[in-house]
Each structure stands twice: as C-alpha cells, then as structure tokens.
Amino acid sequence: MKITKTRLTQIIKEELGIHEAEGAEEIMAAITDVPKAAEAIAVKVRAEIEALAEPSGLDPNLLAQAVSALLTAG
C-alpha cells in the first residue's frame, strides 16, 4: 500500500487532533523540515567520520557502521 504525501499529512493532523487547532501550520512546517534537517546532520556526520578515519587508516564505511550501531543501540 502506497501512502501519498497528502494522506500522510491528513493522518498526522488527525493523530495530533489539529484540524483547526492553533499552531497547526507551524507544526506541519516543522514536520516538513525534518527530512532536510536530517539530511544536513547526515552530511555533517559523514564528513566527520571521513575526517576521523583518514589518519587512522580505517575504512570510513566501517567506522560509519560502528557509529550507526552505537546510535541505534541506545
């Protein structure tokens, strides 16, 4: 089953009970900004991992997997 962006937005509004609530636009704007913020964080983390891996001779992908495991373990 494929969910459209419109349907997903509707579901979020229903779950949060914000059909006509004050601040609904700000909430939806914040939700919309999450993927962009996540991408920016991922790019920065990737650059940091590559910078740390270079002097040690470690494969950046291996170090990235270790970081990922640590982040998801908590």
**19 secondary structure, DSSP code:** S
pLDDT in tens, 9-54: 888 777 777 555 567 777 778 888 888 888 999 999 999 999 999 9
CB-hemisphere CA count at 13 Å for 64?
14
Measured from the Cβ of residue 49, the count of other Cβ atoms closer than 10 Å reads 20
pTM: 0.55
Identify whether the C-beta of residue 60 lies closer than 8 Å to the C-beta of residue 74: no
Q: What is the pLDDT of residue 13?
A: 76
* Residue with token string 């997997």: 65
CA dist 39 and 22 (Å) reads 29
Measured from the Cβ of residue 50, the count of other Cβ atoms closer than 10 Å reads 13
Mean pLDDT of 3-8: 81
